[in-house]
Structure 1
Amino acid sequence: MNTAGLEFSGPGRSVVTTGGLVLAATPLGQIGDASARLREALGSADIVAAEDTRRTRSLADALGVEIRGRVVSFYDHVESAKVPVLLEEIAAGRTVLLVTDAGMPSVSDPGYRLVAACAERELPVTCLPGPSAVTTALALSALPVDRFCFDGFAPRKSGRRKEWLGTLVSERRACVFFEAPHRLADCLADAVEILGGDRRAAVCRELTKTYEEVVRGTLTELAQWAAEGVRGEITVVLEGASATVAEPEDLVAQVEERAAAGLRLKDASAEIAEIAGVSRRELYDAVLAARRAAVE
């Protein structure tokens, strides 16, 4: 990576920027989690690109920082249009600070396209690390998370969500994802159907905020709890699959569901077999056997 124009900090020194993109993590809820480097960057950047300009100005006020640079909007729907403009500013030697509403830019938030464009043009990029709902939830989950994957937001519609959950049937890594509170109960109910009720998980709500809550248990237990209604920002950590290979008979319902949605039985069997790591032929035969048993 081209680091021209950036002076990286050593012990007791702050980052001094003379042109480049600076990604900065912002507090999830507790203002005290803001780093000293974030405070300095908010006050010194030439341009502050913010997911929500009002929230960023409120953050600066709470931190007692005066934003001297220009503040511009940088959210999902304008990201593509703003990237070329900010690239030219960075190429001209200006410092652009990128912040989102909470957590780390690029992690299910705007930022990826700008970082990629800077990397392509070999413009300097650095990061001021800090709060992240992903790593905070993993740490609090009480699950084995030495290996994990992050899947962003769970799909909104049940059909797509079940397909996505199907890819996790044999996933050995823990999976962390975001979910909207009004969809959490349905998501967990789908997870029980696809992954089994005994799979463990943790639902983390309002991380670092006044009403922070972490509920741990099996998917069945969590689905029952969520059915009563949940509020706040939600991060879910799902336990990785055990080393036990799924039996074809346990996957028949998933195949039948895809067949009911319009897939040919052989195609549905092949799809589920690949996800679960079982023999296509054995799974297809198990489905036919189940159908015969149902009519006998």
Structure 2
Amino acid sequence: MTELPGAPPPEPGRRVWLVPTPVGNLGDITLRAVDVLRSADAVACEDTRRSGALLSHLGIRRPLVRLDAHTMDRAAAVLEQYPRLAYVSDAGTPGISDPGAELVAAALEADIPVEVLPGATAFVPALVLSGLPGGRFTFEGFVPRTGRERRERLEAVAARAETSVLYESPHRLGATLRDLAAACGPERPASVTRELSKKFEETARGSLEELATHFGGDVKGEIVIVVAGRPAAAEPVGPEAHRAEAFALAAAGHAARDIRDLLMARGLRKNDAYALALQATGAAPPGHGSS
């Protein structure tokens, strides 16, 4: 094993380790992670082929056990079979937009000590590379692909004062940037980082509208989107301004639901936005129609 001052070998006894793995460059694996992988009875992982290639690169031979989002119900049995278990996701830190939380819960339920090693994750370098404020930020992970929950999550990004960080797949990047531009306004500053630590790493910075145009074609790699918080000039306005906007939208033919969503994007609470939208359109709440 690698020996470093202040880095003792893994503790004896039953244990579960969550081990971050490189998001791109294999040189980003830590020495402690190598020690833990060597000392484990087995390595549980999302993809045995991908993790097997990493272990082969490191010169480590350990049993591999598939434990992904579809097979996590086997966690208790795997913990019983392998008292000293290391868990890795395909890239980055397990439990951050990857499986892992369920394994931690199963280990704690069985009174098995759990250690989470520091190491690679994609959103921290992408946030720093963005050049946007990082003192306070919200990590959104992957937003839903469609529907009401997606719309509400993007509206929350629009209304938030601090920086937001999102993950996205390459084939949905363009659509998400366009939806963010619609929710936040086309001029909201943002960045897109892809292929972190790899040969073709790229960070593009600009407005959401500019980034949507830049990434309008085919894109490859894992994606991190960083969106600036709501500018100070867009602080929530008073109730009279909200009321005037709601009635103006209603006069323009907008439905109550659309008015509610637009008011929420301005920072109004959902219940207040809904009540004002109903008032502006003269619509009755569900279940309150005439008998």
The TM tier, using the shorter chain, reads 0.7 to 0.9
Task: Flag structure 2 segments of 5+ consecutive residues without an equivalent.
Answer: 282-291
Distance change (3 Å), C-alpha of 1:203 and 1:255: farther
Report the Cα offset of residue 163 of structure 1: 2.7
Report the Cα offset of residue 203 of structure 1: 0.2
| Matched position secondary structure for 2:71 | helix
Could you state the TM-score of these two structures normalised by the residue count of structure 2? 0.81
State the match for 1:202 in structure 2: 191
Which of 124, 131, 136 is residue 142 of structure 1 equivalent to? 131
Which of 209, 217, 220 is residue 209 of structure 2 equivalent to? 220
State the match for 1:41 in structure 2: 36
Report the Cα offset of residue 118 of structure 1: 2.1
Distance change (3 Å), C-alpha of 1:122 and 1:242: farther
| Matched position secondary structure for 1:77 | coil
State the match for 2:77 in structure 1: 85
Which of 260, 267, 276 is residue 277 of structure 1 equivalent to? 267
State the match for 2:141 in structure 1: 152
State the match for 1:13 in structure 2: 8
State the superposition RMSD in angstroms. 3.0
Given that residues 153 and 177 in structure 1 are in contact (C-alpha distance below 8 angstroms), is that contact kept between their aligned partners in structure 2?
yes
Amino acid at match of 1:245: E
Given that residues 49 and 73 in structure 1 are in contact (C-alpha distance below 8 angstroms), is that contact kept between their aligned partners in structure 2?
yes
| Matched position secondary structure for 1:175 | strand
Distance change (3 Å), C-alpha of 1:170 and 1:149: same
Which of 64, 67, 74 is residue 74 of structure 1 equivalent to? 67
Given that residues 156 and 265 in structure 2 are in contact (C-alpha distance below 8 angstroms), is that contact kept between their aligned partners in structure 1?
yes
Show the 5 A alignment for 1:1-296. Answer: 11-63=6-58, 65-68=59-62, 70-79=63-72, 81-89=73-81, 94-157=83-146, 160-243=149-232, 244-246=234-236, 248=242, 265=256, 269-270=259-260, 273-274=263-264, 276-278=266-268, 280=272, 284=277
Give the number of aligned pairs.
268
Q: Percent identity?
A: 36
Amino acid at match of 2:60: E
Distance in 1, matches of 2:77 and 2:248, equals 51
Distance change (3 Å), C-alpha of 1:127 and 1:205: same
Distance change (3 Å), C-alpha of 1:118 and 1:133: same
Distance in 2, matches of 1:219 and 1:275, equals 16
Amino acid at match of 1:59: L
Distance in 1, matches of 2:56 and 2:64, equals 14
Distance in 1, matches of 2:175 and 2:247, equals 22
Report the Cα offset of residue 229 of structure 1: 3.1
Distance in 2, matches of 1:146 and 1:96, equals 35
State the match for 2:284 in structure 1: none
Report the Cα offset of residue 202 of structure 1: 0.8
| Matched position secondary structure for 1:215 | strand
| Matched position secondary structure for 1:169 | helix
Deviations 1:40-96 (A, max 9, x none): 222220121011111111101112x2223x2100111111x2112133346xxx110
| Matched position secondary structure for 2:158 | coil
Given that residues 47 and 72 in structure 1 are in contact (C-alpha distance below 8 angstroms), is that contact kept between their aligned partners in structure 2?
yes
Distance in 1, matches of 2:248 and 2:109, equals 47
Amino acid at match of 1:28: V
Report the Cα offset of residue 253 of structure 1: 10
Deviations 1:113-144 (A, max 9, x none): 11122223432000121110011211211100
State the match for 1:293 in structure 2: none
Distance in 2, matches of 1:154 and 1:22, equals 28
Report the Cα offset of residue 242 of structure 1: 2.4
State the match for 1:3 in structure 2: none
Amino acid at match of 1:73: R
Distance change (3 Å), C-alpha of 1:286 and 1:229: farther
State the match for 1:6 in structure 2: none
